[in-house]
Structure 1
Amino acid sequence: MAHLSFLFLTLLGHIASTVYAAPITSRAGTTATTPVSISAADVSSKFGRAAEFSRVSYCSSAAVTSWKCGPPCDSLGKGIEVIQAGGDDGLVPMYFVAHDPVTQSIVVAHQGTEPSNILSILNDAQFLLTGLNSTRFPAAKDGSIKVHSGFQKTFERTADGVLAGVQKALKATNVKKVVVTGHSLGAAIATMDAVMLKQALGSSVSVTTTVFGLPRGGNQAWADFVDAALGSTLTRISNQNDPVPTVPPRFIGFQHPQGEVHIKAVDAKGAATDVVVCAGQENENCSEGNSVLKTSIPNHLGPYFDNISFGGASCPL
């Protein structure tokens, strides 16, 4: 199964918390603040278009470039101009850069882990913390900011192309907004992209990041760095009992940034019926509080809301 590494780490985290017997609220970076409800209409209006672009990222480059990827492309409508598309569905997950005329923004979307491709799984398995690239991110020069080794390696394979593609698109369209999105592994890459783009594009361009099923991407210093760079422009959406947002585990040094929106229930039609905004970096009332005994890989794939699910099965072309 594609996420065996995730499930193994989840189990390790559960065992560790039992052995050390430390109350979850005693750990730095954890809050017990009561989440605030958000309506299904707000979820759709704020995050729906990003989710649809994220779903398209699982399609082939040819289907994306021609914008003939069936229902996922159709749901976004006509007029989408794909500036750049790439990836090999393995060591280089699929991604694309496009102009969205509806929101007058440049969209960067990254594919997540595809269960049928072992190379993608290996990217996820390289979970040791390593120093953030200080050449690309000068703030990391003191060595304190550590990130997931596999995520950083995957990010680096497309980072230059993404930056060049976004700069080209901004110049060609004269828009001033960038939206970055992705699911699973794609969410981790998208988060690193967003920080890179924020520092490279300057204050005249707004960068909004909406990701789905985000695993932890680095240590406390990384989480704080992401918060400082992106602030309230980052939203990470977790779905019910998806185990992926709880790994790699915190006991080996990983920590989420702020910005979680947690889906607590989805009905039979794929509509989210209970969604909350979670304060803090790790909120025990949201995905941080999920039990290892109730994990659900189907929750990772979806539906999240508006009957949107992710993966190759959701985008067959």
Structure 2
Amino acid sequence: MKTVGVFAALLAAAAAQDGGYDENLALYFVDFAAASYCSGSIGHGVSDWSCKACKLHPGVEAIEFHENSHNINGYVAYDPATDYIMLVFAGPDPLSYKNYWDEMVILQQKYDSCPGCKVHTGFYKSFVGAEDKVLYAWDILRKSHPEAKTAVVGHSFGAALAVHGAIALKEKREEHLDLLYNFGQPRVGNQKFASWYNETITDGKQFRITHHKDPVPQMPPAAFGFHHESTEVYYDKFNDDYKVCDGTGEDPECSNQWLLNGNWRDHLTYLGEDFVAQYMTCKLFTVDEDDVRAAE
């Protein structure tokens, strides 16, 4: 009994050291982030849940949303295997990522929900333009699954939208947010906003996953008054080791160590998931894998 107790204590200590981060959940949610590149105007496969990443999780219900003027793409999904209802946002077209970020205008505006808070104008206006469609899709699946756990997921620009999406679910739908997993997220607001978000929006656990020299977490620059929310989980070059960073959101020993030495390839691959490859299969190749095997 004493041995069991010691082992349990060690497990509890390990979990505390990792801040509650669960890599298995990250591996689960990155599949749904990848599937987002098969939604809306950028690809095909989410509406009938037939994309490559989709097939890793059979039986999922999904409702897409798309907003033309700001090119917002994503979906709401319910997975009966885990009882999660998820709000998932895609980033920009993976073949023109660098152009998107190079052309990004760095402006801040006041944020009404939080005195003293400021947010990136472009990210915020993009979400507001799509908000009605996002919440409409959410309401349909929530009505069918009223007791399901809640998760919000995004990659790149989609991770910034996920931050605003989480706020909308909390403030306009009174949702309890169980988990938020973002991959390659840019900075969304100032330090006041980051602190407010950490304290009031995330009921559950939020993890902002970064990959080695991914340059997007360095955008918009901190020097322009932007600050990350916590908690960053930093992965090394080969995605085989990670560090749960300090609670400041701006740990100098994590992705911030590569401030002037970014690598775009690191933005397009997370935890073994290649977002460009996923996009290409959805955009260009629509032949069903079962049909291919039958023809061989």
Q: TM-score range by the shorter chain?
A: 0.7 to 0.9
The match for 1:72 is: 53
Letter in 2 for 1:289: Q
Q: Hey, what's the Cα distance between the residues in 1 that align with 2:258 and 2:206?
A: 22
Where does residue 301 of structure 1 map in the other structure?
A: 268
CA distance in 1, matches of 2:22, 2:257: 24
Q: Does 1:96 align with 2:75?
A: yes
Q: Secondary structure at the match of 1:153?
A: helix
CA-CA distance at 1:166 after TM superposition: 1.7
| Aligned residue in 2 for 1:127 | 106
Pair 1:221-2:192 in alignment: yes
Q: What are the Cα deviations for residues 82-114 of structure 1, in whole angstroms up to 9, with x where unaligned?
A: 1x2122677222111111111111111111021
Amino acid at match of 1:223: A
Instruction: Check the 8 A contact 2:95/2:276 in 1, yes or no.
Output: no
User: 90, 115, 137: which one pairs with 1:165?
Assistant: 137
Partners of 1:130 and 1:312 in 2: CA distance: 36
- In structure 1, what is the Cα distance between the partners aligned to 2:54 and 2:33? 11
Give 2:85's aligned residue.
Answer: 106
1:243-281, Cα deviation, whole Å (9 max, x unpaired): 110111111100001110000231xxxxx2210100122
Question: How far apart are residue 232 of structure 1 and its match?
Answer: 5.5
Counterpart amino acid of 1:128? L
Cα deviation per residue 1:36-68 (whole Å; 9 max; x = unaligned)? 986xx941x121111100000001445211112
Give me the whole-angstrom Cα distance separating, in 1, the residues matched to 2:92 and 2:254.
23
* Distance change (3 Å), C-alpha of 1:258 and 1:232: farther
Corresponding position: 1:81 with 2:48? no
Selected match of 1:230 from 181, 198, 202: 202
Contact persistence 1:130–1:147 (CA under 8 A)? yes
1:316 to 266, 275, 281: 281
RMSD: 2.6
Summarize the Cα distance change of 1:63–1:89 in structure 2 as closer, same or farther, 3 Å threshold.
farther
1 CA distance for matches of 2:203 and 2:280?
A: 32
Hey, what's the Cα distance between the residues in 2 that align with 1:81 and 1:253? Answer: 40
TM-score, length basis structure 2: 0.80
Residue in 2 aligned with 1:147? Answer: 119
Q: How does 1:11-90 map to 2 (within 5 A)?
A: 42-43=22-23, 45-61=24-40, 62-69=44-51, 71-76=52-57, 78-82=58-62, 84-87=63-66
The answer on whether the counterparts of 1:213 and 1:239 sit within 8 Å (CA) in structure 2 is yes
The size of the alignment, in residue pairs, is 260
Quote the Cα distance in structure 2 between the aligned partners of 1:164 and 1:296. Answer: 37
Q: TM-score, normalised by structure 1?
A: 0.75
Q: Which structure has more RCO (C-alpha within 8 Å, separation ≥ 6)?
A: 1
Look up the SS of the partner of 2:119 in the other structure: strand
Aligned counterpart, 1:277: 244
2:256 corresponds to = 288
